Structure 1
């Protein structure tokens, strides 16, 4: 695969992390990336520096880059930030989404119902991402959307894991329904409140998962 620029290479690596092809602790080195993407080591190095600046990878002396993991303390902080950002996006979407966009949001939510009934976590995770992405787009605030995407990317591995829990998967679907109705009705305050609750509920599961994974380490 030929990727010419460091920005394009960075986006490819972000996609690998988002879709679980790279997990926390996985190593990334310039030479391997250069060979994979058919570029020199310079854009590979620049892409890793960009990811490191965003906290998505860590640069380890004499070892290269490692996909960042999340401590319980950092997890709590990230959930608090994500809660505020997502709530703001939902409120803005309630005010700014067109009727066509609101109808599309309802379709995205309905499309996830089959995955919930089958307890098909991989399918629901894709639906979940599309649902939230539609809200970010509907907020008409690209800077806000970028901050949310960056934060979610750092949490992605653990967040995906929480949606493999049947109870959390079902609860997430129900919470989406309430958020969707608030946005459709144009009630920005209610949309903010419900999205805040949605992220906080998921955040509790997320923080517990981080704590459990950390406690198992030797």
Structure 2
């Protein structure tokens, strides 16, 4: 007797759709997440819509508002800096483990992802490069063969999405990022763990001015954002730390 098809979890379906929209920028910081709107859009009852919102709140992607539903969350500058310092080490660890463990099939996938990054760089297509960049990094996460680490990195990158989206619009950022990817790729394919860790942490930490510009583009008043960005980026530049994804 044929087994029944797996039951679709409606709340997970809604949650994943909203996560994709948050990551792509379709839902930006401050965008309202309304229960009734979700019910109408996905043709579901209140329960799965409410559960999806609760999951997003737990993940830090959505902020609840008393009697007003919820809105897409934003990060303060100190929160972003703190997460950046953690991200740099976790990305480095993923690259180190990938150099040690990544199966041959995934190494080929990483090489192919790099080629796609190159094509986007040739046309200065920031949107295409951003998508290809995401794939490049996620192959490394999977290649680390550490599901907990991969899950943490994906969650952190999703929360840090707002400043990151603007990075590839900056002059020369795509070409610099591609050059850094090349070094990372070579280290992983050759199995050099230390070189892979160093190349990845250098990649995440590169471009202090890029980071300051990205922070300035966050939804704050222009004057306060620029001042805060300059103050925040200065210690990172002195330590050689800044935002790059």
TM more than 0.5: yes
- 1:180 match: 185
Counterparts in 2 of 1:212 and 1:128: CA distance versus 1, 3 Å: closer
The CA deviation string for residues 37-78 of structure 1, in whole angstroms up to 9 with x for no partner, is 111111111111111111111001122111011111111011
Runs ≥4 residues deviating over 2 A:
202-208, 211-215
Q: Which blocks of at least 5 consecutive residues in structure 2 are unaligned?
A: 1-7, 225-245
Asked if residue 133 in structure 1 is aligned to residue 138 in structure 2, the reply is yes
Asked if residue 76 in structure 1 is aligned to residue 62 in structure 2, the reply is no
- 2:101 match: 96
- 1:117 match: 122
Using the TM superposition, give the Cα deviation of residue 132 of structure 1 relative to its aligned residue in structure 2, in angstroms: 0.6
Using the TM superposition, give the Cα deviation of residue 21 of structure 1 relative to its aligned residue in structure 2, in angstroms: 1.3
Q: Is the 8 A contact 1:6 1:47 kept in 2?
A: yes
Asked if residue 21 in structure 1 is aligned to residue 11 in structure 2, the reply is no
2:170 to 149, 161, 165: 165
Larger RCO, structure (CA 8 Å, separation 6 or more): 1
Q: Which blocks of at least 5 consecutive residues in structure 1 are unaligned?
A: none
Query: Which protein shows a greater Rg?
Result: 2
Find the residue that maps to 1:78 and give its secondary structure: helix
Using the TM superposition, give the Cα deviation of residue 205 of structure 1 relative to its aligned residue in structure 2, in angstroms: 2.6
Using the alignment, how far apart are the partners of 1:135 and 1:123 within structure 2? 19
TM-score when scaled to structure 1?
A: 0.93
1:198 to 203, 217, 224: 203
Aligned-residue CA RMSD in angstroms?
Answer: 1.8
Q: Is the 8 A contact 1:92 1:139 kept in 2?
A: yes
Using the alignment, how far apart are the partners of 2:185 and 2:208 within structure 1? 20
Counterparts in 2 of 1:204 and 1:193: CA distance versus 1, 3 Å: farther
Using the alignment, how far apart are the partners of 2:221 and 2:83 within structure 1? 20
Q: Is the 8 A contact 1:87 1:195 kept in 2?
A: yes
TM-score when scaled to structure 2?
A: 0.83
- 1:149 match: 154
